[in-house]
Structure 1
Amino acid sequence: MVLVNVHSDGQPIIINKDMLTWYLLSLKLRQKFQTKNQHSEPVQDQNLHGLSEIPVQDQNFQNHKQTHSESGKEVVEERPGDTTGEDSWVISIRDKVEQAHRDDDTAIWGKLCIYRVPHYLKENDKKSYFPQTVSLGPYHHGKKRLRPMERHKWRAVNKVLKRLKQRIEMYTNAMRELEEKARACYEGPISLSSNEFTEMLVLDGCFVLELFRGTVEGFTEIGYARNDPVFAMRGLMHSIQRDMIMLENQLPLFVLDRLLELQLGTQNQTGIVAHVAVKFFDPLMPTGEALTKPDQSKLMNWLEKSLDTLGDKGELHCLDVFRRSLLHSSPTPNTRSLLKRLTRNTRVVDKRQQQMVHCVTELREAGVKFRKRKTDRFWDIEFKNGYLEIPKLLIHDGTKSLFSNLIAFEQCHIESSNHITSYIIFMDNLINASEDVSYLHYCGIIEHWLGSDSEVADLFNRLCQEVVFDPKDSHLSRLSGDVNRYYNRKWNVLKATLTHKYFNNPWAYFSFSAAVILLLLTLCQSFYAVYAYYKPNSKL
């Protein structure tokens, strides 16, 4: 049907009645939608399928994230039609699973040798594990407090290139070939790019080799001034040595070996860096005296044989070499110790059973005597005939950092023995108070450069607070058992009590001897008096 209307100006207007009906219905429904949208209510009108524009609005509304207020908090509800958030969530989970699969590659784990110190160890003592003067490796690379040493590293690189008339490209190309192998030695992801990592290996490696070479040949002989601020035998060198022995501040030994081969121009120089490192770190040795030339020769021969028996020299670094030099002529062969550690039953260590022996004061009360043992192996303790013989230990301001990093390495590296940890826990058991340190110092067992005996006691008491250790897996477990059995014998306790209370000086022994003689004479006199009374006519 067509309706004809007349405009005010007299012109006719033709209107389609059906179109007018649909227009009015659409307008009515649009108003209804707008009213419901203002109240945040979903539209569920099933009579809208005939409209051309309403289904689009309905679909958008169904995919909309409805927002409403509950107790003053804004809550966003995701509509079933919205699959974008769910898809990204699933993709994120898949990425995490794939990363876990890559991290679970045991072949990568086998190459680890430079670890980040566990948080439970460094929580209360960060200074012992963080370098203060120089950074080596990627963990502390670029730290603000360590940047001043970077220009001296470049001085070392420049000195090497000028001395040997070489180009830097030879070193960067060689390190790029070792990049993947070197990265595998470090725990966790490394944020440095390929170029940055390669540059770091060249820079730090040449710096270390210059320090080693200067120690052996002399810094002035290799081109450094006598008053050089770094490359000279002065106080700063001790701080550098202490930083270079930290677990997080290491370079793989094969990197240093390769750089040395480039400098010498010959192949197969593996082992030379390890030999020189032992001499470089000799001032940090906790033994009472420096190594004599025969001792150094013996140590070098042992170290060379030890390094030749290793399956992969890339698993070594300066801290490991230093540790091996401390444990030369180890109390148990390395192969047996390693096999025992890898095949023992897995169990949770009981911290309550970490006490190996009693303290010095208690052992003295049980009759145990202490004396210094003459040996350069500070861990080589012996107990026989009531005497506990302990080698001399020198404690200085770097001893805490040294022992802390050695313990951290043994805690992290499964293929390492726990000889250093065993020794330190044994000494920690012996030392409870300053009186124990004072007596060990009197016996010549401990010499220290700290302020007081109480500081030494505090040092040992703090070293092993969070260390996980099984006494049964210690090379000192049998010795500890012998000491404890001696301690538990009642006769030894009684004898020690008599000695400490009544025979604590030479005059006590003289008085006791005189009293015994007087008692014997009195008994003899009494005997003859009684005998003469009952048998007066008998002849003796």
Structure 2
Amino acid sequence: MVLVNVHSDGQPIIINKDMLTWYLLSLKLRQKFQTKNQHSEPVQDPNLHGLPEVTRPNQDQNVQNHKQSHSESGKEVVEERPEETTGDSWVISIRDKLEQADRDDDTTIWGKLCIYRVPHYLQENDKKSYFPQTVSLGPYHHGKKRLRPMERHKWRALNKVLKRLKQRIEMYTNAMRELEEKARACYEGPISLSRNEFTEMLVLDGCFVLELFRGTVEGFTEIGYARNDPVFAMRGLMHSIQRDMIMLENQLPLFVLDRLLELQLGTQNQTGIVAHVAVKFFDPLMPTGEALTKPDQSKLMNWLEKSLDTLGDKGELHCLDVFRRSLLQSSPTPNTRSLLKRLTRNTRVVDKRQQQLVHCVTELREAGVKFRKRKTDRFWDIEFKNGYLEIPKLLIHDGTKSLFSNLIAFEQCHIESSNHITSYIIFMDNLINSSEDVSYLHYCGIIEHWLGSDSEVADLFNRLCQEVVFDPKDSHLSRLSGDVNRYYNRKWNVLKATLTHKYFNNPWAYFSFFAAVILLLLTLCQSFYAVYAYYKPNSKL
């Protein structure tokens, strides 16, 4: 059968019906074949444009090597096999990490370490006490946004030094470049600053610190600063700068300051001068309650000079360490033995349950312990004699928490440091549990504070030692604490204290007691005479 169709141009087109039937049948077969092989890679028949795609029976072997097909929940997922180079790079990265671990395990690097990052467990309660608020010194807080306003004043100080001494900046940068590697070794962890940035930081921060020290000794107006200078003048901002310079993460190695001072003075071997001046600069932060007198300063300087000469490598010191030693001054002999014991003892885990050295003030008073202020400038020097616990006066102000926090952090991090400050703070923390304890110590003249209330002082000590790891056996107050606890456990002392607090708590109670005793004696005498006269009426006495 033949069908005739007419083209658009009027020419007839003859179509065979049988051919059309076979064509449609073959098209149906192609569609069914495609649905059965839907997981195969489809290719397009080059001879049938516009018709459905058919499956290539022989797929490329290379494609099969790089791609695998599998079904997950009815969905087709195509995975690519990892290349061989991926495994090699992974092994290389592991080897790099092991090499870095070997470098980090170099004990010679640890020996120079003295400026640490505050451990996170100490920062949880109060980060403000450990981070500078006004000025940055060293690389840890260099470039922080809140500290950038002080940078232009550092450059003013450096420019003032160069003009005053008529020196070139290259002399300072070359000297600091020589000390760069030694200075980097003093800091914990990697420093992100480049060599030039680190050298610039040492010069800029070091000259700024020396200008503060020199202005404190000679007077800022005498070295070229105006009376109304926004930074280099003895006003409120100076106290904030002093507090920042005592923070553990905000330190410069002392040998850097010594070298810069030598360049300014034009002489060699000036080690020790910076430490001496630093003691005077930080004197307002002393928690002893009184400023150092001239005899005390002379005595302190002589001891400090001997201490700095005998401690070992002076490059391991910084302003915080110098300030700490000025607080301790001449420690008694048992402290040295305690330090040696700490360095040579077997490692053991500290039990937090044993950090209770003594009972609180209220409990000790109930056991008969009396408190008295001790007249000494060493605030940590506590004694216990004949039931009297003698404690030196302690001044507490708004910077005391930051000061003690950083001193504790340094003693926690630096293995070669004693733990005298930590021992003292924990001892005071044991004594103070409430505002009543603070009030009584204030009554005895032991604590003087400028805070809002006694409860704030109690909260300060309780928070200072909240996360501190401490072994009482290494404390220089361990023997004293044992004596106090033995006195506390005596029943007779508790009985005497109970009688005193309940029945003899005022002078009239003593008069009443003696009057009652006299009346009792007279009554006994009268009774005796009456009985005696009854049994022997004729006898004469």
Q: Give the structure-2-normalised TM-score.
A: 0.88
CA offsets per residue over residues 264-289 of structure 1, 9 Å max, x none?
00000000000000000000000011
1:72, CA displacement in angstroms? 9.9
1:344, CA displacement in angstroms? 1.3
1:526, CA displacement in angstroms? 1.5
> Aligned pair in 2 of structure 1 residues 385, 58: CA closer, same or farther (>3 Å)?
farther
> Aligned pair in 2 of structure 1 residues 101, 534: CA closer, same or farther (>3 Å)?
same
Give the conservation status (yes or no) of the 8 Å contact 2:335–2:476: no
CA offsets per residue over residues 183-206 of structure 1, 9 Å max, x none?
000000000000000000000000
> Aligned pair in 2 of structure 1 residues 306, 60: CA closer, same or farther (>3 Å)?
farther
Aligned to 2:60, the other structure's residue is in SS state helix
1:11, CA displacement in angstroms? 29
1:524, CA displacement in angstroms? 1.7
Structure 1 CA distance, aligned partners of 2:24 and 2:141? 75
CA offsets per residue over residues 226-282 of structure 1, 9 Å max, x none?
110000111100000000000000000000000000000000000000000000000
> Aligned pair in 2 of structure 1 residues 73, 446: CA closer, same or farther (>3 Å)?
farther
Moved more, 137-146 or 67-76: 67-76
> Aligned pair in 2 of structure 1 residues 82, 502: CA closer, same or farther (>3 Å)?
same
Q: Give the structure-1-normalised TM-score.
A: 0.89
Give the conservation status (yes or no) of the 8 Å contact 1:62–1:81: no
Moved more, 47-56 or 451-460: 47-56
1:520, CA displacement in angstroms? 1.2
Give the conservation status (yes or no) of the 8 Å contact 1:135–1:249: yes
Give the conservation status (yes or no) of the 8 Å contact 2:434–2:455: yes
> Aligned pair in 2 of structure 1 residues 333, 218: CA closer, same or farther (>3 Å)?
farther
1:339, CA displacement in angstroms? 1.5
Query: Hey, what does 1:67 align to over in structure 2?
Result: 69
Moved more, 367-376 or 67-76: 67-76
1:525, CA displacement in angstroms? 1.7
Structure 1 CA distance, aligned partners of 2:110 and 2:351? 27
1:509, CA displacement in angstroms? 0.2
1:215, CA displacement in angstroms? 0.1
Give the conservation status (yes or no) of the 8 Å contact 1:63–1:82: no
Structure 1 CA distance, aligned partners of 2:2 and 2:315? 96
1:60, CA displacement in angstroms? 3.7
Give the conservation status (yes or no) of the 8 Å contact 1:33–1:43: no
Query: Hey, what does 1:206 align to over in structure 2?
Result: 207
Moved more, 203-212 or 29-38: 29-38
Aligned to 1:74, the other structure's residue is in SS state strand
1:532, CA displacement in angstroms? 2.3
> Aligned pair in 2 of structure 1 residues 523, 271: CA closer, same or farther (>3 Å)?
same
Query: Hey, what does 2:365 align to over in structure 1?
Result: 364
Give the conservation status (yes or no) of the 8 Å contact 2:369–2:388: yes
Structure 2 CA distance, aligned partners of 1:17 and 1:380? 120
Structure 2 CA distance, aligned partners of 1:205 and 1:25? 94
> Aligned pair in 2 of structure 1 residues 496, 26: CA closer, same or farther (>3 Å)?
farther
CA offsets per residue over residues 134-193 of structure 1, 9 Å max, x none?
000000000000000000000000000000000000000000000000000000000000
> Aligned pair in 2 of structure 1 residues 478, 80: CA closer, same or farther (>3 Å)?
same
Aligned to 1:450, the other structure's residue is in SS state coil
Aligned to 1:375, the other structure's residue is in SS state coil
Query: Share of identical aligned residues, percent?
Result: 97
Structure 2 CA distance, aligned partners of 1:344 and 1:441? 39
1:527, CA displacement in angstroms? 1.9
Give the conservation status (yes or no) of the 8 Å contact 1:431–1:460: yes
> Aligned pair in 2 of structure 1 residues 47, 188: CA closer, same or farther (>3 Å)?
farther
Aligned to 1:376, the other structure's residue is in SS state coil
Structure 2 CA distance, aligned partners of 1:215 and 1:155? 17
Give the conservation status (yes or no) of the 8 Å contact 2:3–2:17: yes
1:40, CA displacement in angstroms? 7.6
1:88, CA displacement in angstroms? 1.5
Query: Hey, what does 1:455 align to over in structure 2?
Result: 456
Give the conservation status (yes or no) of the 8 Å contact 1:62–1:79: no
Query: Hey, what does 2:47 align to over in structure 1?
Result: 47
CA offsets per residue over residues 485-525 of structure 1, 9 Å max, x none?
10111111110000000000010000000101111111122
Give the conservation status (yes or no) of the 8 Å contact 1:332–1:475: no
> Aligned pair in 2 of structure 1 residues 48, 456: CA closer, same or farther (>3 Å)?
farther
Give the conservation status (yes or no) of the 8 Å contact 1:36–1:42: no
1:52, CA displacement in angstroms? 28
1:123, CA displacement in angstroms? 1.4
Between Structure 1 and Structure 2, how many residues are aligned? Answer: 539
1:310, CA displacement in angstroms? 2.0
Structure 2, unaligned runs of 5 or more = none
Aligned to 1:89, the other structure's residue is in SS state helix
Aligned to 2:76, the other structure's residue is in SS state strand
Give the conservation status (yes or no) of the 8 Å contact 1:111–1:185: yes
Give the conservation status (yes or no) of the 8 Å contact 2:289–2:394: yes
1:330, CA displacement in angstroms? 1.1
Moved more, 76-85 or 265-274: 76-85
CA offsets per residue over residues 313-353 of structure 1, 9 Å max, x none?
00000000000000001134665333211111211111111
Structure 2 CA distance, aligned partners of 1:335 and 1:354? 22
1:48, CA displacement in angstroms? 27
Aligned to 1:394, the other structure's residue is in SS state strand
Moved more, 39-48 or 477-486: 39-48
> Aligned pair in 2 of structure 1 residues 475, 73: CA closer, same or farther (>3 Å)?
farther
Give the conservation status (yes or no) of the 8 Å contact 1:397–1:449: yes
> Aligned pair in 2 of structure 1 residues 532, 8: CA closer, same or farther (>3 Å)?
closer
Aligned to 2:43, the other structure's residue is in SS state coil
> Aligned pair in 2 of structure 1 residues 536, 252: CA closer, same or farther (>3 Å)?
same
Moved more, 12-21 or 118-127: 12-21
1:16, CA displacement in angstroms? 33
Structure 1 CA distance, aligned partners of 2:309 and 2:30? 88
Give the conservation status (yes or no) of the 8 Å contact 2:130–2:402: yes
Structure 2 CA distance, aligned partners of 1:29 and 1:238? 94
Give the conservation status (yes or no) of the 8 Å contact 2:42–2:53: no
Give the conservation status (yes or no) of the 8 Å contact 1:230–1:237: yes
Give the conservation status (yes or no) of the 8 Å contact 2:300–2:326: yes
Give the conservation status (yes or no) of the 8 Å contact 1:64–1:82: no
1:28, CA displacement in angstroms? 19
1:59, CA displacement in angstroms? 6.0
> Aligned pair in 2 of structure 1 residues 239, 19: CA closer, same or farther (>3 Å)?
farther
Give the conservation status (yes or no) of the 8 Å contact 1:437–1:456: yes
1:79, CA displacement in angstroms? 3.6
Aligned to 1:75, the other structure's residue is in SS state strand
Structure 1 CA distance, aligned partners of 2:539 and 2:46? 145
Give the conservation status (yes or no) of the 8 Å contact 1:252–1:315: yes
Give the conservation status (yes or no) of the 8 Å contact 1:36–1:43: no
> Aligned pair in 2 of structure 1 residues 102, 524: CA closer, same or farther (>3 Å)?
same
Aligned to 1:83, the other structure's residue is in SS state helix
> Aligned pair in 2 of structure 1 residues 478, 116: CA closer, same or farther (>3 Å)?
same
CA offsets per residue over residues 346-367 of structure 1, 9 Å max, x none?
1111111111100001100110
Give the conservation status (yes or no) of the 8 Å contact 2:216–2:281: yes
Structure 1 CA distance, aligned partners of 2:538 and 2:406? 89
> Aligned pair in 2 of structure 1 residues 251, 30: CA closer, same or farther (>3 Å)?
farther
> Aligned pair in 2 of structure 1 residues 23, 444: CA closer, same or farther (>3 Å)?
farther
